[in-house]
Chain A
Amino acid sequence: MKVFSECLMDRRDFLKTTIVAGITFAIPGNASLFLKALDAAEKTDLVVAHGISPARITTAAIDGLGGIRAFISRGDIVVVKPNIGWDRLPEYAATTNPEVVSTVVALCYEAGAKQVKVFDHSVVDPRRCYKQSGISTAATAVGGIVSYIDDRKFREVKLPGVALKSWPLYTEAIEADKFINIPIAKTHGLSTLTLGMKNLMGIMGSSRGRIHQRIDGSLVDLAMAVKPTLIILDAVRVLTANGPQGGDLADVKQLNTVVAGRDQVAVDAFGATLFGIKGSALGYVVAGQKAGLGNMDLAKLRIKKINV
């Protein structure tokens, strides 16, 4: 009973703060309002949702962009690509928050998706990564089709050639109707971050370690080839040092934030600010802007901030 009333309270706050999305939710039958809402949502470039519950901020962030139906159509085969790269428990912020993942999977099904597939090309043993990250259990519980990478399903794909002319990519990822990228925000190397574009490495086959030689261009190539429908940057917990694998709770910072957007460059540029640096300090963000992949100029973006 207590829990229920708390929900109501939060719902009210939620309605106040996200009027647009709220109205479409509350009065789904009202077509003109619905269209208006869509229109307003279209104009929002990024939604930054902040709050205690990973599930609610994820839903709120997507609602801020016009709701899941703006992205997923009935019958779609959807790929949800979290970071399941490492053998770490969720508290260590090396892998995407399992609740964020399961919320997205559930929303996709609500929007009528036929299948929602969840996978990642883990760096260390996949069995351990899938288990310890909590993602396998969480996504399966809401009907997600969680699978390990199958070596037979890589196909050489032509890339724009900023750095890579072609690379074997995972067919299930490139052939899906919709691709939702759900990275976690972490440090990488000494000063760089791994955000949305870097998370796409998880659909690469072959010896992908080599792309570090021209990482910025390679990530732009990959991002232009994959073109996610939606990017949800998990910053519920972020790893501030010793990434991307971490392992020390002292390096984890609880931000209780989720950033959602359509523009890969914009999401990563905003993600950088969570660590106190500018997007322009990230080579692949600059390269992405230059290649016309997106906009890193946060001043020119309509960013909606929500507290849930």
Chain B
Amino acid sequence: MIRKIRIVTQGLFLLTFLWLFLQTESKGTDELGYPVKIFLDADPLIFITTILSSREWYQTFFLAIAVIIATVILGRVFCGWVCPMGTLNNIVSALQKKRPRRAPLNWHWLKYCILTFLITLSLFSLQFTGIFDPISFLIRSFSLSVYPLVVYATKATFDLFYNLNIPVLVNMSEFTYALFKKIWLPFQQPFFLQSAFLGLLFFIILGLNLLEKRFWCKYLCPLGAFLGLLSRYAFLQRSVSEGCNSCGACDFDCQGGASPDQKEKWHNTECMACMNCDDLCPQHAVGFRFFKKAQTVPIDLGKRRVIGAILSGLAAVPLMRITAINKQAGASEPKLIRPPGSLDEKQFLARCVKCGECMKVCITNGLQPTFLEAGIEGIWSPVLIPRIGYCEYRCTLCGQVCPTGAIKKLEMQDKEKVKVGLAMIDKGRCLPYAHATPCIVCQEVCPIPKKAIWLEKAKVMSRNEDVMILNQPHIDLDLCNGCGLCEAKCPVLGQPAIYVTSIGESRSKENQLLLS
């Protein structure tokens, strides 16, 4: 009975998660209308490590603290009942019907080591939690890979029917297509760099469930480890009565691999409160009760492993930071254009959890995951690539969905002033400069009310010595905000004749050009 309630609860949370994921998309206004980042807000691991790494308190802490309190009272109910990543692992695990012949790996210690490593990093201001945090991992994988994949396949299928051009069939498929568009398809096909790589990583993690049930949850998840520590002295504890005849029926169905059949030798920190053992016990000997003394063994960890994790954390901080891009202003990749409202790079990296929310919501698909442009420390953090999509002038959505404030939420009048970089012209490729051909596209599209691109009427000689008067674009560096619309629309494809680099970005004191 409790098991059924749990499954329904898990389903509801997963659906809520998916629904909010789908709502992380513009509908034409600058509001989303739903609390789309609520699962990230509720993630205590992100909460604590961000506070440690940024050394600043955090605005939306209520949910994270609620999860901490719930865990102290009820144990790891978040893992067993709420976490959408856990539920997905659970679903794939359910495909494994037979008990595997191998003994389980029992690597429970590994996730505590990962947790220790991440906390050590964050103590030294390096926020790396997002790489392993389940909510971050899930949203990133869905946003950048899984959802685009499903959308592509769906669109391709409907296109196939559309091109068959059989009247009734086309009507039917187009009707369904329109319905899908209303319910769950995005406005446009999302495209992301590294999508295959990120997708592969996600499917491998899901696949591990076939090796062993809830592999990720048991052995890898640092959030699970954190909640495990909190659940050690939880008010709600499992108790096994005298009636237990050690039949072992509960063992295979234990989601945490907590050895429930071992009675008082079981691992209470591994229990996800799934209540399978309670439901399954043929003797009705298992129960969960408040204020019972825990019948359990200590966390299976070992001093050496903990020290090893701390030491590797201590080494990893300088190792990640000695990359030459940190040497001086301007040494980093000039195309590392951060979203509008991003904090100064150091503070930005201390907060960004690489969840991909900003990339999911970006109206032009221009926000993409970095690879090594921002060092390993900044892997999968957002970068604006204007050739893929520019920054929409009156859009502040990325700042609205950022869970940790790495991208500030901007008011509209501030957004219009924030510079993410500056555009410059490549006279060697620009048509009116280099090729005696008229073109004013960059000036036409420039969204700055007074135009950050101005045109100079210039006499240009063609090959036949005809003198032509052409409009040659110039950039007003004071007005340009680096949105990249000019670069996005420049007809000189490939390497554009006008392009944005991060110099002049408002968030940086150092990365400046003009004396101001």
Residues of chain A having any CB pair with chain B under 8 Å: 87, 123-128, 130-132, 136, 148, 152, 188-190, 207, 209-210, 212-215, 242, 244-248, 251
Sorted nearest first, the 4 A-B pairs with minimum C-beta distance are A131-B28, A247-B449, A248-B449, A127-B28
Instruction: Output the residue of A124, A130, A212 with the most chain B CB within 10 A.
Output: A124
**Distance of A81 Cα from B340 Cα, bound (Å):** 34
A-side contacts of B427, CB under 8 Å: none
Is A125 within 8 A of B493, CB to CB? Answer: no
Q: Which of these, A152, A213, A215, contacts B159 with CB under 8 Å? A: A152
Is B159 within 8 A of A128, CB to CB? Answer: no
B-side contacts of A207, CB under 8 Å: 491, 493
Is A245 within 8 A of B363, CB to CB? Answer: no
A-B contact pairs, 8 of them (CB 8 A): A125-B26, A125-B363, A125-B364, A127-B187, A130-B28, A190-B457, A209-B489, A246-B449
Residue of B nearest to A250 (CB): B449
Is B443 within 8 A of A189, CB to CB? Answer: yes
- CB of B445 within 8 Å of the partner chain: yes
Given that A127-B363, A207-B493 are known contacts, is A242 also in contact with B441, CB under 8 Å in the complex? no
- CB of B395 within 8 Å of the partner chain: yes
Residue of A nearest to B485 (CB): A124
- CB of B29 within 8 Å of the partner chain: yes
- CB of B429 within 8 Å of the partner chain: no
Q: Which of these, B26, B162, B440, B446, contacts A128 with CB under 8 Å? A: B26
A-side contacts of B431, CB under 8 Å: 213
Q: How far is the CB of A54 from chain B (nearest CB, A)?
A: 22
**Distance of A148 Cα from B457 Cα, bound (Å):** 37
Is A244 within 8 A of B444, CB to CB? Answer: yes
Q: How far is the CB of A204 from chain B (nearest CB, A)?
A: 13
**Distance of A132 Cα from B392 Cα, bound (Å):** 13
Is B449 within 8 A of A190, CB to CB? Answer: no
**Distance of A209 Cα from B444 Cα, bound (Å):** 10
Instruction: Output the residue of B29, B393, B446, B455 with the most chain A CB within 10 A.
Output: B393
A-side contacts of B27, CB under 8 Å: 127, 131
Is A132 within 8 A of B440, CB to CB? Answer: no
Is A125 within 8 A of B392, CB to CB? Answer: yes
- CB of B244 within 8 Å of the partner chain: no
- CB of B287 within 8 Å of the partner chain: no
Q: How far is the CB of A243 from chain B (nearest CB, A)?
A: 8
A-side contacts of B438, CB under 8 Å: 212-215
Q: Which of these, A123, A128, A136, contacts B394 with CB under 8 Å? A: A128
Residues of chain B having any CB pair with chain A under 8 Å: 26-29, 159, 162, 187, 363-364, 392-395, 431, 437-441, 443-451, 455, 457, 471, 485, 489-491, 493
Residue of B nearest to A190 (CB): B455
Is A123 within 8 A of B449, CB to CB? Answer: no
Residue of A nearest to B448 (CB): A247
Is A242 within 8 A of B394, CB to CB? Answer: no
B-side contacts of A209, CB under 8 Å: 439, 441, 489-491
**Distance of A250 Cα from B451 Cα, bound (Å):** 14
Given that A212-B438, A248-B450 are known contacts, is A188 also in contact with B395, CB under 8 Å in the complex? no
**Distance of A136 Cα from B28 Cα, bound (Å):** 11
Residue of B nearest to A192 (CB): B440
Residue of A nearest to B493 (CB): A207
**Distance of A192 Cα from B28 Cα, bound (Å):** 30
**Distance of A128 Cα from B391 Cα, bound (Å):** 13
B-side contacts of A128, CB under 8 Å: 26, 28-29, 363, 392, 394-395
**Distance of A247 Cα from B449 Cα, bound (Å):** 4
Q: How far is the CB of A134 from chain B (nearest CB, A)?
A: 11
B-side contacts of A132, CB under 8 Å: 28, 394
Given that A128-B28, A189-B471, A242-B451 are known contacts, is A87 also in contact with B392, CB under 8 Å in the complex? yes
**Distance of A252 Cα from B437 Cα, bound (Å):** 31
Residue of A nearest to B444 (CB): A244
Q: How far is the CB of B513 from chain A (nearest CB, A)?
A: 24
Residue of A nearest to B489 (CB): A209
Extra contacts, 13 of them, besides A128-B26, A130-B28, A189-B444 (Cβ < 8 A), are A87-B393, A123-B489, A127-B187, A132-B28, A132-B394, A188-B444, A189-B443, A189-B455, A213-B437, A213-B438, A213-B439, A242-B449, A248-B449
**Distance of A287 Cα from B30 Cα, bound (Å):** 42
Residue of B nearest to A249 (CB): B449
B-side contacts of A189, CB under 8 Å: 440, 443-444, 455, 471
Is A212 within 8 A of B447, CB to CB? Answer: no
**Distance of A136 Cα from B29 Cα, bound (Å):** 13
A-side contacts of B493, CB under 8 Å: 207
A-side contacts of B448, CB under 8 Å: 247
**Distance of A1 Cα from B450 Cα, bound (Å):** 45
Q: How far is the CB of A14 from chain B (nearest CB, A)?
A: 36
Residue of A nearest to B446 (CB): A245
Instruction: Output the residue of A125, A132, A251 with the most chain B CB within 10 A.
Output: A125
Residue of B nearest to A244 (CB): B444
**Distance of A123 Cα from B442 Cα, bound (Å):** 12
Residue of B nearest to A125 (CB): B363
B-side contacts of A87, CB under 8 Å: 392-394, 447
B-side contacts of A148, CB under 8 Å: 187
Residue of A nearest to B28 (CB): A131
B-side contacts of A242, CB under 8 Å: 449-451
Q: How far is the CB of B221 from chain A (nearest CB, A)?
A: 37
B-side contacts of A125, CB under 8 Å: 26, 363-364, 392, 395
**Distance of A246 Cα from B446 Cα, bound (Å):** 9
Is B445 within 8 A of A123, CB to CB? Answer: yes
Is A210 within 8 A of B491, CB to CB? Answer: yes
Q: Which of these, A131, A136, A188, A247, contacts B447 with CB under 8 Å? A: A247
Q: How far is the CB of B175 from chain A (nearest CB, A)?
A: 14
Given that A127-B187, A132-B28 are known contacts, is A212 also in contact with B439, CB under 8 Å in the complex? yes
Q: How far is the CB of B473 from chain A (nearest CB, A)?
A: 11
A-side contacts of B393, CB under 8 Å: 87, 124, 247
**Distance of A189 Cα from B29 Cα, bound (Å):** 28
Given that A127-B363, A215-B438 are known contacts, is A190 also in contact with B471, CB under 8 Å in the complex? yes
**Distance of A165 Cα from B54 Cα, bound (Å):** 60
Q: How far is the CB of B208 from chain A (nearest CB, A)?
A: 39
Is B28 within 8 A of A212, CB to CB? Answer: no
Q: How far is the CB of B109 from chain A (nearest CB, A)?
A: 49
Q: How far is the CB of A38 from chain B (nearest CB, A)?
A: 39
**Distance of A123 Cα from B390 Cα, bound (Å):** 12
Given that A125-B26, A247-B449 are known contacts, is A212 also in contact with B392, CB under 8 Å in the complex? no
A-side contacts of B28, CB under 8 Å: 127-128, 130-132, 136
A-side contacts of B364, CB under 8 Å: 125
**Distance of A103 Cα from B449 Cα, bound (Å):** 29
**Distance of A291 Cα from B390 Cα, bound (Å):** 38
A-side contacts of B451, CB under 8 Å: 242
Residue of A nearest to B435 (CB): A213
Residue of A nearest to B394 (CB): A87
